[in-house]
Structure 1
């Protein structure tokens, strides 16, 4: 059995040597220990520098025959990007030795930052479940469980939202406030949301009450972050007016049931996400998730009805550029 040549295969930002054998697929009952030893002897110099930083399987025979971490394709054929299922072959590529090195916030993760960023973006951008995102990645040859995606969303979603809040432009001086009921774990909670005149969500607050004290708490949270606006537009709930009167900041208050459509429409993405998730399990979960979800939606919320087709495409491309730029910031953190 001879060795024809050695090709360099790139996979998940790593490069490993694959040896092409001229015999094709072997018989299952054959012993391939001699193949492994031959490859080790011939390629010791070529592979030592590249594979030094990776963890190898402990048993050499298992690495050469039937390693559960090996790629399933026979040696000499193209290996698709991201394949990670296991098979029994004479000599394959162990996924333990092609783990990419990460940096910054992505340090210690096996998958590349681009894959993690795509999963977080897809989960927050569209009303999809974790298993839907898992299927999207699997269609691209990336095998990852929905629980891993859940961990990515929980860890990196807040970091993306933090950068978005830090770098967002100056908010408008006209705010629209509204509250909507949020059934959670058999109890009724209220989601308070503030939106500026451009349609960008400023902040949200999940509370158990819908009264003057709850409105005052929400106003204080907003003013601490953004300062006082020029105009506040609300519905006919009297709690808003009473809270603003006690604050005595000289803010113009407009209360009318037909002036608050902008904040009313901002609840639609929340309702779609709530339906997909089967409602929130606790007010804490709702607060943590929606505070991140709304900030990411601000980046990818395009006013399609006010833009031409060319401007809309450019706006969409800019949003993706912003997302990629935040990924680079997190990699360098």
Structure 2
């Protein structure tokens, strides 16, 4: 009897100890979970605060969109008071070749190529936007003065910059005739003649003629410098940037900004631009696409060599790029290594300039 009582008492004590052990273990586990959740909440709050600070430092594309709409009449009034540059070729009716839309209050023509389906054209029209973020990102070095837009397409960069007041005037070179016709129509219908000057020409490293390979989309046309052009390539007038500036009687002391987006011909453009490159006050925005550069018979390394020899600083317009925003030009090749990592056809734009030594 006594043995059974002792056995039961021992079992009860053991059960209490076991219960206390698991209760203590559960309490400690719960505290650990609470502490971890608290740390995660703090980390999330810190990241959110950092993100908000970064967002506040980023320029507002929406504010520029608002300003474009209220400043358009001012730009039109300014255009009406200045003489117009002579057109380099005659405009024509665009019915059947292009579509007209309204973007932020501006009448806007965009090419509708035969290679595009009706649905593709509608999607393209729905996606038409002005590059407000890129405009804002370049304001460190580009506000005021004349802009040279090399590879201007239909004026998506030049026209908003002139209206917003970032550029006093824009000279635009575009090799594709339909793109250039749309550009001229966008200038004419928005009453900006004299402020935006369109020229149907390819800017390269030579004067003469070059084949232009047209793509399925209007932004993909490219001048063929290396290899054989396709049978459907068309011949276009080409000249160097230095010769074009002289031909248009552009005073380089008034130029502050050059944008080059030529689907791989950037090295050729720079090769024919020694006089413009020698102007220390001019900043450049240049597209960097390793795939397109190689299609044009050059390479990213050739582009980097020219830029590092001419400029002192750069910044990458890719908002997700690693490292400091403003960097010495010696870092350029290393900073853009990400463009050739993976299988994607990556590209970006860099802004380069020369600081006074």
TM interval, short-chain normalised: under 0.3
Instruction: Give TM-score, length-normalised by structure 2.
Output: 0.25
Max radius of gyration: which structure?
A: 2
Instruction: Give TM-score, length-normalised by structure 1.
Output: 0.27
